[in-house]
Structure 1
Amino acid sequence: MNMMKKVMVINVEKEFNLEKSVCNHGFFMMLPNQWAPCSYSFRRPLRLADGCSSVMVSISSSTLDHQHLIIRAEKPASLSDSDRDLIRKQVVRMLRLTNKDEIDVRKFQEAHPQAASKGFGRLFRAPDLFEDIIKAILLCNTSWNRTLEMCQYLCELQAELHSGMHKDVLLAQDCNKSADTTVRPRTINEYFRSCKRSTSKINLRALGNFPSSKELAGLSEEFLKQRCNLGLRAKFIIEVANLVENGELNLGDLELELEESFDEASYDNNIRDKLMALKGVGPFATNNILMCMGDYRNIPIDTETIKHLCEVHDRKDARQVYDKFAPYQCLAYWYELVESYERKLGQKLSKLCPSNYHKVATSYLSSNTNKEKESTSTVTATKRKRSSSR
């Protein structure tokens, strides 16, 4: 086939930085997203126009002028013009390359010179809103490591469903018969240990795309719960998938409503009410979803946020700290949080090995910092004791 059909180019502003546009928020660490620290490129499956198939794409900056993104389809399959258009649309959404996004970046950086000096002004998101919603649900009431694992299980499941691996289970489901739905998911560390050490790319033999609403709507709650270790989230995820599939929840209209009424005081309540009406979506998940949609005013507050506020600002009220950056409070918060993470880790998030993603949490980093301090204090005390005995 014509190789040019497999390569697409998107023009970007001269200030655009692919690393900063991807490695700025926990969503980039959640599979099937894959950032390659060695090549500074991004890789993941993206859907094709038929709504069922996916193709693995890699995204990198042009080495000539850095004002172009090079998108390469890795799979040797024919891409139609509709496929190419949809791939571009998904990349634009993930990296926030719309006119509104460019305006948001400029205005936020004008209000936050420190963030501007570091090139920070975008928050990475999924290729579509459905994936953002499900990942927001996966963040609730659990540890960061568990969230990473659940994303992994869902991507493995998508590959299994696409290959027809669970046909017997689905057939029994349709016939109201019982079936053995037990499939032991691997832990996230088992998964990354199975990756080839000789390459920066994750081994994708058992990993698919993030499942679509259509794929999830056809599953039983019990099967999804057991296969992906989701607990109560399985019920919520299937309900959201069914709402999307039967047309009761039109995600395209929801995004368009926000875009068209962004400057109106009423839009926030309308969209917030619709999101809050979804089972399993509370204030924390809603604020995460709104943030992904481009409303940065409401910071998703959880224990991670409180720990950060107490540690850095000696207070618990996020509004007292970030409201001066309105309407870009979330951008200011994530800039500060990423700076904190990188300072504690001693390296950029973009340089982290995927097997260490679970460490990017204030609770983990704080406990390790305390252990290091205790160890240093013990060594110092021992040296003093030896010195005094002489």
Structure 2
Amino acid sequence: MSPRIHDLAQPFTIGPRVRHLADYADSGQALIEEQVLGVADARVLFANYAAIRADFGMLWGSHTDTSSHIEIDHWLLDNAAFISSSQAAAQGINTPIALDSRRASAWRPPRYGRAAVLCLPSSDQVLFDIKGIGVPPDEAPVLPHSNGLLTLAEAMHEVLMEHLVLAAMTHAKEAITPLPTYAVIDLGFDALWHDGRASEPAVLLLRRPCTRPRCQWQRYWQGAELAGALMQAELRLRRYGLTASSCGAVRFHVSRENGKLQVQRDGATLKVNNQVTKRLEQMLANNQGKPLVIDGVNVQLAGESSAEPLQLQIMDFGRYRFAERFDHHLYAWIDADYQNLNGLYMAPDHLQYIQPDPLLSLAKAVEGTAFAALQQQLRDFRQKPGDDDLCQAVRAALEEACRPLRS
């Protein structure tokens, strides 16, 4: 029988990775250790084997054939197919989890609600940053938004956006690069919703381990330079019909009610200082008094960053979206508390406010036949778990989506 071939075989960026747990401490990120439990029914859905070989050459060398894929798959499952103890003990959040006898240590950097770092056994040598491993041991999963799991559809969205961002920024010759995904692992159980939605396969997303700037895991002053760099990254993405900041996750509404300025986020009224009030008043006046919708720049960073020249490594693509037009004001905060609304702004009529280039936009990808076929694969996944069908569907969707960049 021929081996399964589920090589994503997509480009990736060569770059540094965290090698030891002490690297997190050096960046100020305190780690919390816990024990995680082995999952018996896990399987590798696909992997970007070239990225794995590039980062773990001491284990796998630089072979380009498929002869080592099965060995790498076993290694991935042995070292990554785990779930947190709290997730395994939860009731009504997911279908039953088949556990095996394996136990391992995992470490959580700050704000890693459903992610953790895993090492080589009995070692401080970091292997993976894993998303979807479940909630920490001192928490219980809560539906619908804090269930501790990553669904297959969410993982596919992240992988698609990662590679579309890389293709777009490579085309633009920008030093804005996505953190590479190594593999996606099916955990063999499903996330439950209890709100009419069908259950969805739970998976793990294995990423290159990285540190993060303090301002993105703690309320810490971001500063004008980094705020400007993040604004520029968002604008460069928008040229290609991509955005990290338009899904509404960091959205503010500004209006005048009974003669007074009102600022709201998610229905809650916010207080801002006099300086910010004056600025928002001027922005309202420039908008002919019509209410403002302001989207906060939500580009997430990994590793070291540079504003001049612009050089960023970005990660966490779950909130990235396609868009054919942008109409909201854009805001990148300077203060530690982004809800202070003290920062850099750009109005839709500003000369540097970028709209998608119709010749380069990737937003039409969602209308393509390959994208529709991928969505069907996701819906039918548990009923038709073809060995390589999902991987091929992802590759086809990326191939179709990136055609504007090759014409």
Q: Same fold (TM over 0.5)?
A: no
Which has the larger share of strand?
2
- Greater helix share, 1 or 2? 1
TM-score by length of 1: 0.30
